[in-house]
Amino acid sequence: MARAFLGIDTGGTFTDFVLREAATIRVHKVLSTPGAPQDAILTGIKEMGLQSRVAAGQVMIIHGTTVATNAALEGKGVRTAYITNAGLKDVLLIGRQTRQQLYQLTPAKPKIPFDEQLLLEVNTRLDAQGVLIEPLTAADLDELEQQIAILQPESIAINLLFSFLDPEQELQIEARFRDAYFVSRSSLILPEQREYERGITTWLNAWIGPLIKSYLNSLSAALAPSNLAIMQSSGLTISAKVAAERAVNLLLSGPAGGLAAALAIGHQTHQPRLMTFDMGGTSTDVALLEGEIRLTNQGKIASYPVAVPMADIHTIGAGGGSIAFVDAGGLLQVGPASAGAHPGPACYGRGGTAPTVTDANLVLGRLRSDAFLGGRMQLDKSAAASALQPLADQLQISVTELAFGIIRIANESMIQALRVISIQQGHDPRDFRLMSFGGAGGLHICDLADALDVTDAIVPLNSGVLSALGMLAAQPGRELVKTHQGILHQLHDEALTAELNALLTIAQRELKDEGIIHTQHQYHLDLRYLGQTFSIAIAYHDITTAIADFHAMHSRLYGHALDKAVELVNLRVHVEAVRPPFTLPTSLAVNATQQHREAVYGAIVGEANPVPIYRRDMLADACLLTGPALITEDHTTVFLKSGWLASKDELGNLKLTRSVSVTGDSPT
């Protein structure tokens, strides 16, 4: 039997599955089990009838996981010792001394997860050129071993000054402890300058690493002999065995899958410029695509910098399960707290009582009680109304008015997030097509497009499970980085190419261990003007071209270029497998003039007349729908507002086009 490919995305509320065999795609969704994420995965595999094929090794599984993210956000890491140079153990405590709230005169002392007793020092030192000026002795290692034995941590993070120039001292410490502890060393995790960012990233990897390793080892064993790969934050996949040692590279594992799918759809439909928003049950992730996934080394998890390469995604706590409440000032707020999967929104009928965005959409008639998850899960409208009633009474408004208010506030949070990744970075949203995915995205896409004056939007086929689909679109690969500082025009192409080739060799060796022989690569340099703090990644072919490209990019991003020397900060290598591009099957309808099945009608609050409700899988290829309307499918619902038109493209995606100008506020 031919091998099948299964993408799995574990979210806060649902776990999504996409199975691809030859030219067919099958999707599935189950409620997540946050306490044991593997339980939902195994349940979904059973419900899809794949148990025997997985047990026979006939399924290649690519998984996006939130285990790393949740462990970091919830502060559930393990007891971790941090080893650094003498005199530097307070670096993690001091940080950058930047205020979270610049104008707060009495800022609260930030919470730190570090136990100061576990911050250890060792008497060794390199200078800024990588020259050893204080060797690491056997006595130093013996003393460290005694301290560790007393403190009894579960993991160890090692971060020595300038170890990115010479990792030898870190390797010696790692060799002493790796048989008994989970060990994370900065010269492997992040061989870059900036000891604070490197230290935090290395510590995070050690802090959550044992949890990730245990989870991935357990899941790999349960799925064996089928192979398991993991989506990284960069949008490239990695074997579960290697991922178990690099937990910090998985912090955006799930959201990166959505971008991989959006990118593939954009290429296939000739729409490379996309503004995406992924609205799930717990959060919304927004990003900008211009023919590729943009990466950043300035990401954050909670309030901590994570400097490993990751997709440039902005995340907010606004999802279908986001809870509405009245704050101390008497104002209605939505999120970031979520009802999650258990108990979930009140309308799930699982014991939830808090009012959520999903409950509001159901009360307004934008969700159909009998169409959720293809009818496999009935929604309770009366329970949703009951959940909203106490809050409506508190605000002295009707349940309907409260529902509109909840939707409007959730929309505004997403609009602001989209402005952050577009307008605030010098991009006009009108130059992009808005793409929504996630189970709740289709209910809000027209509102967001109106607010941003975007006239074209797209809701992909199977948008409710698009992140799982993206697991299948992603390629195995690596993003490697190493600090190399110097004035660029004073350096030589031969020397830079030799160092980049050395990084390439490391990446290719790792991929070869995963069975990947044929690869393609790109080289980048992190450049800045001498004296600047932050850098810009520029594609590297030769030094002269890189300098010219940097001036042009700086001018495009910031409106000016400087007559100053250009400084090289880091070398970067992107390596991925050479495989046929991922493509989605085109529509199977043979008669493009066929009519869609007659719609039923339902009431939507705010609309004077009953609106048509269409089954997406029953729409003809040549359909042209006029809003207001609801378009339902198994894993999402699209609310087509008045003034909008919907049609299908060759892949079955819904193309939304605004037919009239927005002249005033809508009910939402």
Q: What's the 3-state SS for 584-595?
A: CCCCCCCCCCCC
Q: What are phi and psi of 237, to 5 degrees?
A: -95, 160
Would you identify the CATH topology of the domain 4-72+214-253? Nucleotidyltransferase; domain 5 (3.30.420)
Alpha helices in 129-194 (DSSP H): 138-151, 168-177, 186-189
- Cis peptide leading into 343, omega within 30 of 0? yes
Q: What sections of 180-314 are H helices per DSSP?
A: 186-189, 195-223, 240-243, 253-268
Burial class (CB in 10 A: 0-12, 13-18, 19+), 337: middle
Joined tokens for residue 564: 């100053």
Query: Does the pLDDT value for residue 2 go beyond 60?
Result: no
How distant is the alpha carbon of residue 505 from its chain centre?
28
CB neighbourhood size of 517 (10 A): 10
pLDDT digits (tens, 9 = 90+) for 149-176: 999 999 999 999 999 999 999 999 999 9
CA–CA distance, 418 with 424 (Å, rounded to integer): 9
| pTM for the model | 0.85
**3-class SS at 599?**
coil
- pLDDT band of residue 597 (cuts 50, 70, 90) is low
Angle ∠(655,661,665) on CA atoms, nearest 5: 105
Q: Distances in Å between the alpha carbon of 618 and those of 24, 319, 622?
A: 18, 28, 12
How confident is the prediction for the chain on average, in pLDDT? 88
pLDDT at res. 115: 85
Strand 228-231, strand 59-64: pairing: parallel
The per-residue pLDDT for range 530-553, each reduced to its tens digit, is: 989 889 999 999 999 999 999 999
Res. 513: pLDDT tops 60: yes
Q: What is the C-alpha separation between 467 and 11, in angstroms, rounded?
A: 10
Q: Is the pLDDT of residue 401 over 50?
A: yes
| End-to-end C-alpha distance for the chain, whole angstroms | 51
| CA 356/CA 325 separation, integer angstroms | 9
pLDDT (0 to 100) of residue 582:
82
In CATH, the architecture of 477-577 is: 2-Layer Sandwich (3.30)
- pLDDT of residue 216 exceeding 80, the answer is yes
Q: Is the dihedral of CA 466, 467, 472, 475 positive or negative?
A: positive
Residue 492's pLDDT band (cuts 50, 70, 90): very high
Give the list of residues 6+ apart from residue 15 with CB closer than 8 angstroms, or none.
8, 9, 29, 30, 31, 32, 33, 37, 40, 41, 44
Domain 75-212 maps to which CATH number in 1.10.10, 3.40.1350, 3.40.50, 3.50.30?
3.40.50
DSSP letters for 62-93: EEE--HHHHHHHTT----EEEEEETT-TTHHH
b vs e for 518-543, b when ≥16 Cβ sit within 10 Å of the residue's Cβ?
ebebebbbbbbbeeeeebbbbebeeb
Q: Of 398, 384, 393, whose CA–CA distance to 354 is shortest?
A: 384
**Would you say 318 and 357 are in contact if contact means Cβ atoms under 8 Å apart?**
yes
Q: Which two three-digit tokens encode residue 3?
A: 């091998």
Rounded Cα distance between 646 and 653, Å, is 10
Helical segments of 396-444, H only: 399-421
Structure-token pair, residue 256: 């990166």
Q: Is pLDDT at 247 greater than 50 in this prediction?
A: yes
Task: Tell me the percentage of the chain whose pLDDT exceeds 70.
Answer: 95
How distant, in Å, are the alpha carbons of 277, 526, 634 from that of 628?
22, 49, 20
Pairing mode, if any, of strands 228-231 and 322-326?
A: unpaired
In the prediction, which pLDDT does 12 show? 72
Length of the chain: 668
Q: Would you kindly state where each structural domain of the chain is located, as residue ranges?
A: 4-72+214-253, 75-212, 477-577
Q: What percent of the chain has pLDDT over 90?
A: 56
What per-residue confidence (pLDDT) applies to 371? 65
Residue 19 scores a pLDDT above 90: yes
- Cβ(417)–Cβ(316) below 8 Å: yes
Residue 344's region, left for phi above 0, alpha for psi from -120 to 50, else beta, is left
Using CA atoms, how far apart are residues 344 and 282, in angstroms rounded to an integer? 10
pLDDT category of residue 94 using cuts at 50, 70 and 90? confident
Can you give the C-alpha Rg of the chain in angstroms?
A: 26
